[in-house]
């Protein structure tokens, strides 16, 4: 017979529990708000990069740039829109989903604080990632100024702007989630609210056809006002099976009849 008691948790069962918990409504809401907040940052960077691309394309020269593809208008657009801020996107998204999620029940100061913390973590990610190109450029140029720039001014200037955009996006996502929750709560209250007369069909109200109650039958009053007329009880009818008279002995003749 197969035992029904649960055994010790295994690595596979633990992974399954993590996957199931990741599909919960709270995690989905956190992912939605984080994606919406970062969507504002990505959209703003895309618009700014597109404007810079158009401006650079006007004075574009056919001759090759000395710094390669990264110095071309398209390379600058991709670098400023996707490549360079990608560590900021990733770090801020992880913070907003796992560490500092934005919920509909939070107050506005809490939402601002959560977004600011995510922006600070994203800026720190830019600083850490900037160590590698800073060191490489410093070695090639023979000076460590590039490393100082990649550790201070470059990530801080980008991080401050991205953090401000992230705060705006977090507030917009928070307002969106609160609006959806308020609409759902209002719809639930309107469904559960008892309906007035002449409004059947709501939850909690019985069907008029099923809620009919048998009313007591009132006998009509007599014309003389003596009260209601009570129906007479039917007289019992004796059946032929109860008639024993045929078994009685014949009656004796009287002497006067002789």
Residue 31 lies in a domain: yes
Residue 217 lies in a domain: no
CB 119 within 8 A of CB 159: yes
CB 121 within 8 A of CB 93: no
- The total number of structural domains in the chain stands at 1
Residue 36 lies in a domain: yes
pTM over 0.85: no
Residue 47 lies in a domain: yes
Residue-level length of the chain: 258
To the nearest whole number, what is the mean pLDDT of the chain?
75
For the cut 50, the answer to whether the pLDDT of residue 19 exceeds it is no
Q: What is the pLDDT of residues 112-170, one digit of tens each?
A: 999 999 999 999 999 999 999 899 988 888 888 889 999 999 999 999 999 999 999 99
Residue 62 lies in a domain: yes
| Residues 122, 114: Cα–Cα separation, whole Å | 12
Q: 35: domain range?
A: 24-190
Residue 203 lies in a domain: no
Mean pLDDT of 238-254: 59
Lowest mean pLDDT among 20-24, 39-43, 132-136: 20-24
Residue 241 lies in a domain: no
Beta-bridge partners for 228: 221
Q: What is the pLDDT of residues 221-231, one digit of tens each?
A: 555 555 555 55
């Amino acid at each position: 017979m197969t035992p029904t008691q649960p055994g010790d948790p295994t690595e596979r069962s633990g992974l399954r529990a993590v996957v199931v918990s990741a599909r919960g409504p709270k995690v989905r809401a956190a992912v939605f708000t984080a994606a919406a907040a970062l969507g504002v940052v990505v959209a703003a960077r895309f618009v700014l990069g597109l404007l810079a691309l158009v401006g650079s394309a006007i004075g574009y020269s056919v001759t090759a740039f000395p710094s390669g593809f990264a110095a071309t208008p398209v390379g600058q657009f991709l670098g400023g829109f996707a490549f360079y801020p990608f560590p900021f996107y990733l770090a801020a998204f992880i913070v907003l989903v796992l560490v500092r999620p934005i919920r509909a029940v939070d107050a506005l100061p809490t939402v601002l604080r959560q977004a600011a913390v995510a922006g600070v973590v994203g800026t720190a990610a830019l600083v850490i990632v900037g160590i590698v190109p800073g060191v490489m450029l410093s070695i090639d140029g023979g000076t460590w100024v590039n490393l100082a720039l990649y550790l201070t001014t470059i990530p801080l200037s980008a991080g401050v702007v991205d953090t401000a955009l992230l705060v705006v996006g977090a507030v917009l996502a928070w307002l969106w989630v609160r609006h959806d929750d308020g609409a759902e709560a209002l719809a639930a209250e309107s469904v559960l609210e008892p309906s007035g007369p002449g409004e059947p069909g709501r939850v909690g109200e019985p069907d008029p056809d099923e809620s009919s109650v048998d009313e007591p039958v009132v006998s009509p009053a007599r014309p003389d006002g003596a009260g209601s007329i009570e129906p007479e009880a039917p007289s019992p009818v004796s059946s032929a099976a109860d008639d024993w008279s045929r078994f009685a002995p014949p009656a004796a003749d009287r002497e006067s009849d002789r």
